[in-house]
Amino acid sequence: MFGHARNAISAYQKVGVDAAVEVADPHRLILLLFAGAEAAIGKARAAMQQQQIAAKGEGISKAIDIIANGLKVSLDLENGGEIAQRLDALYDYLVLRLLRANLDNDLHALEEVAGLLEEIHSAWREISPNARQQAVA
């Protein structure tokens, strides 16, 4: 009985995310990637604490996918200068830490990655085109 409700909620959430992605500008897409990676790490952390191995692996895999195939790929290494190079290296480091967290059930590594992602996410929120417009007004 509740399985159908969960499927409906999941489908609704997916439609909401898909709709947000379709109308998002590039800056907003990066913010959505950070939020998705942070949510996946949060799920992995909870699963790790509850010793749910499969769920932990799924959460970590999703976070790795978002970082490696979303955030890292979005970097403009030709025109982004030193900051793009540093972010590229940092994203590589985050992926390695997530792999280590998965292999060793290392909660500290998950928390380290979550903290670093939140710092970058916070900086992206600060440079929002909307924040600049509000500061001028």
CATH of 2-129, one of 1.20.120.340, 3.40.50.720, 3.40.50.1390, 3.30.930.10: 1.20.120.340
88 CB contacts (<8 Å, ≥6 apart)? 72, 75, 77
Q: Where are the domains of the chain?
A: 2-129
Which pLDDT value is given to residue 11? 38
Task: Read off the tokens for 49.
Answer: 């604490």
115 CB contacts (<8 Å, ≥6 apart)? none
> pLDDT of 29-42, one tens digit each?
999 999 999 999 99
Position 133 confidence tier, pLDDT thresholds 50, 70, 90: low
What count of residues does the chain have? 137
Which pLDDT value is given to residue 45? 97
pTM, to two decimals: 0.78
74 CB contacts (<8 Å, ≥6 apart)? 26, 29, 30, 33
Query: How buried is residue 1: exposed, middle or buried, by Cβ count under 10 Å (0-12/13-18/19+)?
Result: exposed
Percent of the chain at pLDDT above 90? 72
> pLDDT of 67-117, one tens digit each?
999 999 999 999 999 999 999 999 999 999 999 999 999 999 999 999 999
